[in-house]
Structure 1
Amino acid sequence: MTNALFTDLLQCLGPLGIFLLIGVFLRAKIKIFQQTFIPASVIGGFLLLLLGPQVMNVLPIPADWFSIYSLLPGILIVPIVASVPLGLRLNSKQSSGGQNSEIFKNILPLIGIGLGTSMAQFFVGYGTHAAFGNSNLYDVFGIELAIGFVGGHGTAGTLGNMLQELNLPYWKTSQGVAITTATFGIVGGILIGIALINWAARHGQTALLKKPADIAEPIRVGFEKDISKQSSIGRETMQSSSIDTLAFHAALIFMACLLSYLFLSWAKALKIPVLGSISVWAYGMIIMFAIWGLMCKLKIDYMVDSKIKSKISGAFTDFAVIAAIASLPLKAVAAYIVPILVMVVLGFIVTTGILFFFCKRFLKGYWFEQMIGTLGMATGVFLTGVLLLRICDPELESPALANYSLSYTVTSIIYFAMLNLFIVLPIAHGALVTMMVALGITIAALLFATITSRISFGKEFKGN
C-alpha cells in the first residue's frame, strides 16, 4: 500500500462524482428523463460510458480507471447489503380501528405475492436460457432478470461479486447484462406503473385518486427548491462532541464488513464445507443481524436511526450504480441482446400479471395502492415503488406504504438468502432444472399468499 495508490483511487472517484452531478443537472432539465424518472446515477453512468474509451474515447481518463469501476460495485455491495438489518423493526404500530387492523392483515399475503413475483422472474430468466439452449449462453444467463428487476442496478454488483469469487470468467459480462435488465426494468416498470395508475383512476380502482394526477415537480426534477418542504434525513442520535451521527452509523457498517471478511477467511483457512463458499456480503448481513440484535438486547437501539443508515447505503449505491454502468462491457452484452429482450418482455408480462391478479384477489383494502408499490419494487428499487405509490396516494393517507415497506423488507432478506441457490444450481444441473426449482418456489410462495389471505379475511372474501 502506497500513498500513490490511495491518491489514484481518490482521483478515479472524481469522474464518478462529476458525472453524478451532470446526471442531476440533466434529470432536472430534460423532459424524457423526468417522465421516466431515471436516476442521476444511471444518466451519468451511461454518459460516462458513451464518452469513455469503449465508445467515443473523448475523455482524458486512463482506461485503467474503468477497470477499477468494474470492480467497485462488487466491493460497495458488501456495506450496502450488510447495512440492511441495521435499524430493522418488524413490529408495525397497528391502529385499534377495525378497518385499519383488517388492512394490516394484508402484510403476510403481500410478502407471499412479492416473493412469488421475484421467484417467477428467476423462472422466466432461466426459462429463456433453456429456450435459447443452443446459443452458447454461459451457465448463469437468466439470473440477471431477477437481479436487474427486483434487485436494481446496485444489486448487479452482488452478482459480479459472487461470480468473481467463484473465479467464473464471465462475471463482467453477467454484471453487464444485469445492468442492462435493470435499466429496462426501471424505465419499463415506471411506464407500466403510470399507465396502470391512469387506468385504475378512470375505472374507480384507486381508493384515493379519482382522476389521473399530475406528478409534483420536485419528484419529476429530483429536488425540492422550497427549504421549508425539504425532508430531514433522520435523527441526530449522537452528539458531535463525541462522534458524528453519520460516522457512528458508518462505523457499525464497516465493523460488520471487517468481521464478515475475517469470518470468511477463517472458514476458508479451516476448509469448512459450505461456510467457505458463502459470499462475504451474506456474512455481512448475518453479522449485522447479530450486532443489531445485541444492541436491542442491551437497549441501546436508540443510537441507530434507519433513515440515517439508508442514506449511507444509498450513497454507496449511487456510486456503485454509476461505476457499474460506466464499465458495462458493451460488446459482450450486445452478443446476448436477443435473449435479453425476450427475457425482459416476458418478465414484464409475468411480473405485472402475477401482481395484478393476486393483489386484486387476495388483498383487502387499498389493493391497488399496495400492488403498484410492489410493482415498482419488482421492476426497479424500493424508491421506485414509493414513487408510484406517491402518484396515486400523494399525501400517503393509506396504510399502503407501511404494508409495502414491511413486506419489502422481509422479501428482500429472503431474496438475498436464496440468491446463491440460483447461481449454484445452473452451474451444477443446468438451466432447465433451475427453471423448475424457481417455478416450485413461486407456486409455494403464491400458495402462502392464498392461504394467509383466507386465514386473515375468511373463505367468504372473493377479492376486490
Structure 2
Amino acid sequence: MTFAFILTAILLAIAVGIRRLIPLLGVLFIPASVIAGIVGFAAIQIATFAFESDQMIELSSEWKSWPGMLIAVVFAGMLLGRPSSSASDSIIRAGRQGLMVWIIVLGQTAIGLLATWLIIQPMFGVPSAFGMLIETGFAGGHGTAAAMGEVFASEQVELDAGLDLGVLMATVGLVYGIVSGVFWVNVGIRRGWTRKEASGSTASSKTQSTEPIEKSSIGTAVVKPDLIDPLLLQVIWLTLAMAVGWCLQWSVGSLAGLIEHFFLSGSPDSNLTDRTSASAIVGSFPLFIYTLFGGWAVRLGLTKIGSGNLIDSMTVNRITSSAMDVLIVAAIASLNVTVVSGQLSGLVVLVLAAILWTAFCLAWLSPRILPTEHWFELGLINYGMSTGTTATGFVLLKLVDPELQSGAAEDYALAAPLSSPFIGGGMITIGLPILILPLVPLPAVIAVLVAIIIGLIVTGIKVARR
C-alpha cells in the first residue's frame, strides 16, 4: 500500500513535468493523471516483461483495488458539496438541453447494444452488457468506468474484463473528444455556427497558457483554524458521508435478505438462482451508490440543525477531484493487457459506432433541438461530455466562447439534474446490466431503447419549432 501510494505520487510528479515540457499535451488538454497512468502502465509492462517480477504483479493488483473505494469518495462528495438548486425561469431551455443529453446517452447505449447483438456477440460470445461500454467510457468517463467495473464483474453480468475495457474506452474517448472537438470547433467557425469570431477565439486559446493562474485557498471559509483545521473538517464530513453509505449498504442488503427469506422460504419459488434472487441483485449494487445518498444525508442533517454553512463546497470538490486523479492513475496503470487484447476487436467496433453517433448528434441533431442562438456552443459541451468528461466539453466551449457569454454554460448546468442522476453513470446505467439485460432478450431491449430515442427526437424537434 505504501509503495503503491509513493509510486503514484512519483508518477503524477513526472506527468506534471511531461505536461510542462511537451506543449502539445497542453494544447490537447490531456490531464496529468492520464499521462501518469500511461507512464505507470508502460513501466509495469516493461518491468514485468524484462524481469518477470512478482512485485510488479502485486503492485498492479494493489492499484486495481483502489478504484472501488476512491469512486465511493467521489460520489460521497457529489451531493455533500452541492446545495439544492433554486427554481429558474429558463426551465424550457433546460428541458431542451436535458432532452438532448438523454438522446445522446441513450443512443450510445442503444447503438452499443445493437453492435454487440449483430456483430460482436456472434464473433466473440461476449455478454450483452459489453454494448454498454460506449456509455460507460464515453459518456461516463474514467469515474464511471471504475464504478461500473464492480457492476460488470457481478454474477448477473459476468463481464470480468469490464473494468479494464471501460477504462480503456474512457481513455480513448478522452483523447478522441479533445482532438475531434478541436476539429469541430474549426468547422463551426468556418461555417458560421458560433457567436464569437474565430480571431477572438484563436487569440484566447493562444494566450490561455501564458495567463497567470488566479490563486485561491481552500478549507478556510467556514471555521477558524484555532477550532479545527478547516481542511480536516471537510474530510470529516466526507468520512461521515462514507460511514452513512456503509450503513445504508449493510442495512439494505440485510433487509433484502430477510424479506427474501421470509417470503420465499419453503415456497415453490424458493428455487430461485443466486443470480436472480433479490438479495443477490441488491448486494451487487456497489458502495458508491450508497455514499451518494450518504453525502445528501450529511448535508441535510447539518442544514436541519442550522450548520449547513460548515460545508465548504470548494474544498469538498478539491478533495474529490484529488481522489479522481488518483483513481485515473491507478485504473490506467493497472490495465490488464491480456484481458483487453482478447476483447480489442469488439472494442474497436464500439469505438467506431460511438464516433458516428456523437458526430451525428452534434452536426445534425443539435441545431434542430437546442436553442438556436447558441446551439453549437451547447452542442460542444454535450460533445465533450459524450466523448470523455464535462470538463472536456467546457474546454471546447472556451475555444469559441472564452468569456462564457453565450448562455450555453448556464443551460447545461440547469439541465444537469435532469440527466446526471439517471444516465451517463447514473441509476439507469447501473441498473440496466444488472436488472434488465440478464432477464430480457437483447433484441427487445434494443427495440424499446430505439423507440424511446425516436420519441425523444421527435418531441425535441417539435418543441424547438414552437
TM-score range, shorter chain: 0.7 to 0.9
Q: Cα distance 1:303–1:325, how it changes in 2: closer, same or farther (>3 A)?
A: same
Q: Cα distance 1:36–1:210, how it changes in 2: closer, same or farther (>3 A)?
A: closer
Contact 2:157 / 2:433 at 8 angstroms: preserved in 1? Answer: no
Residue 312 in 1 paired to residue 322 in 2?
Answer: no
Within 5 Å, give how 1:57-76 maps onto structure 2. Answer: 57=49, 62-76=56-70
Give, in whole Å, the separation in 1 of the partners of 2:148 and 2:429: 9
Could you list the runs of 5+ residues in structure 1 that have no partner in the other structure?
Answer: 1-8, 95-100
- For 1:111, the equivalent position in structure 2 comes to 98
Shift of 1:34: 2.7
Within 5 Å, give how 1:272-421 maps onto structure 2. Answer: 272=259, 273=278, 275-364=282-371, 365-415=373-423, 416-421=426-431
Q: 1:436 aligns with which of 430, 439, 447?
A: 447
Contact 1:120 / 1:351 at 8 angstroms: preserved in 2? Answer: no
Q: Partner amino acid for 2:98?
A: I
Q: 2:19 aligns with which of 23, 27, 30?
A: 27
Shift of 1:407: 2.4
Give, in whole Å, the separation in 2 of the partners of 1:331 and 1:74: 22
Contact 1:49 / 1:55 at 8 angstroms: preserved in 2? Answer: no
Give, in whole Å, the separation in 2 of the partners of 1:37 and 1:435: 35
Residue 226 in 1 paired to residue 236 in 2?
Answer: no
Q: Cα distance 1:278–1:26, how it changes in 2: closer, same or farther (>3 A)?
A: same
Give, in whole Å, the separation in 2 of the partners of 1:71 and 1:218: 41
Shift of 1:56: 5.6
Contact 2:241 / 2:297 at 8 angstroms: preserved in 1? Answer: no
Give, in whole Å, the separation in 1 of the partners of 2:455 and 2:227: 50
- For 1:253, the equivalent position in structure 2 comes to 238
SS in 1 for 2:422: helix
Shift of 1:152: 0.8
- For 2:184, the equivalent position in structure 1 comes to 196
Q: Partner amino acid for 1:80?
A: V
Give, in whole Å, the separation in 2 of the partners of 1:238 and 1:410: 34
- For 2:269, the equivalent position in structure 1 comes to none
Q: 1:85 aligns with which of 75, 79, 95?
A: 79
Shift of 1:326: 0.7
Contact 2:137 / 2:144 at 8 angstroms: preserved in 1? Answer: yes
In terms of mean alpha carbon deviation, does 120-129 or 429-438 score higher? 429-438
Contact 1:233 / 1:308 at 8 angstroms: preserved in 2? Answer: yes
SS in 2 for 1:286: helix
Contact 2:138 / 2:386 at 8 angstroms: preserved in 1? Answer: yes
Give, in whole Å, the separation in 1 of the partners of 2:249 and 2:299: 20
Q: Cα distance 1:262–1:89, how it changes in 2: closer, same or farther (>3 A)?
A: closer
Shift of 1:93: 8.4
Give, in whole Å, the separation in 2 of the partners of 1:247 and 1:440: 50
Give, in whole Å, the separation in 2 of the partners of 1:235 and 1:348: 44
| Overall identity of the aligned pairs, in % | 24
Q: 2:142 aligns with which of 136, 144, 153?
A: 153
Give, in whole Å, the separation in 2 of the partners of 1:218 and 1:310: 27
Contact 2:245 / 2:291 at 8 angstroms: preserved in 1? Answer: yes
Contact 1:156 / 1:178 at 8 angstroms: preserved in 2? Answer: yes
Q: Partner amino acid for 1:135?
A: M
- For 1:10, the equivalent position in structure 2 comes to 2
Q: 1:134 aligns with which of 108, 122, 128?
A: 122
- For 1:240, the equivalent position in structure 2 comes to 225
State the number of aligned residues: 435
Contact 1:53 / 1:63 at 8 angstroms: preserved in 2? Answer: no
In terms of mean alpha carbon deviation, does 253-262 or 65-74 score higher? 253-262
Contact 1:160 / 1:174 at 8 angstroms: preserved in 2? Answer: yes
Shift of 1:427: 2.7
Q: Partner amino acid for 1:363?
A: L
Give, in whole Å, the separation in 2 of the partners of 1:155 and 1:441: 23
Residue 50 in 1 paired to residue 35 in 2?
Answer: no
Give, in whole Å, the separation in 2 of the partners of 1:297 and 1:262: 21
SS in 2 for 1:38: coil
RMSD: 2.7
TM-score calculated relative to the size of structure 1:
0.85
Contact 1:154 / 1:318 at 8 angstroms: preserved in 2? Answer: no
- For 1:5, the equivalent position in structure 2 comes to none
Q: Partner amino acid for 2:59?
A: W
Could you list the runs of 5+ residues in structure 2 that have no partner in the other structure?
Answer: 260-277
Q: Cα distance 1:205–1:225, how it changes in 2: closer, same or farther (>3 A)?
A: closer
Q: Partner amino acid for 2:244?
A: L
Give, in whole Å, the separation in 1 of the partners of 2:207 and 2:217: 15
